[in-house]
Amino acid sequence: MVMTTTRGRETRNSAKKLRETRNDLPEATRTAVAKLLNARLADCVDLQTMCKQAHWNVRGPQFIALHKLFDDVYEGVTEYVDLLAERIVQLGGVAYGTVRDAAETSELDEYPASISSGEEHVRTLSTALAAFGSRMRRAIDETDELDDVASADICTEITRGTDKWLWFVEAHAPSRA
């Protein structure tokens, strides 16, 4: 069921009927996986905007390296958004990938607008990447328990990539000797 608010905006609920598909996964599995992946899609869209926030606002001696790195991470995360959204639709679901959907649904902490130093952006973005990676690791287990190995494989691919980006960003953190 889709309800409309006074501003004409749809509100989402999890009882939506799936679109017809010849995908042979049971409907209950497809419904549960689509709901789960939509939650991770919201996190991923949120993470995507965080990468750009860092890219646009970083200042300091490592500016050019971090400016480029944050844009590279953004491009990688954009691929994950697409993988998640396309899998949801393949299952017969609707991908909720707008910024408003992400703002309403994301489980990631809000990115502070007031930071500017490279060190602050590295710390904040690495925290967001780690949180997203943790949620994707859970999604691997959850999709596997639902017997959707294809979705589990996508979650594994995204986790591997997120761990790589976390490593790249953390490499710019000051050493704590």
Please say if the pLDDT value at position 4 is more than 80: no
> What is the pTM (predicted TM-score) of this model?
0.90
Q: Taking CA 132 as the corner, what is the angle to CA 76 and CA 172, rounded to the nearest 5 degrees?
A: 65
Task: Tell me 4's DSSP state.
Answer: E
Structural domains in the chain, CATH included, are 24-170 (1.20.1260.10)
Band the pLDDT of 16: cuts 50, 70, 90: low
d(CA 171, CA 27) in angstroms, rounded, equals 44
Please say if the pLDDT value at position 14 is more than 50: no
d(CA 107, CA 44) in angstroms, rounded, equals 10
Q: Which of 6-10, 26-30, 85-89, 136-140 has the lowest mean pLDDT?
A: 6-10
d(CA 53, CA 18) in angstroms, rounded, equals 35
Cβ atoms within 10 Å, residue 142: 19
Q: Assign residue 102 a region: left if phi > 0, alpha if psi is -120 to 50, beta otherwise? A: alpha
Residues in contact with 177: Cβ distance below 8 Å, sequence separation at least 6, in sequence order: none
Cα dihedral value 69, 70, 76, 81, nearest 10:
180
Which structure tokens are listed for 31?
Answer: 């419904």
Band the pLDDT of 30: cuts 50, 70, 90: very high
pLDDT of residue 175: 73
Amino acid (1-letter code) at residue 29: T
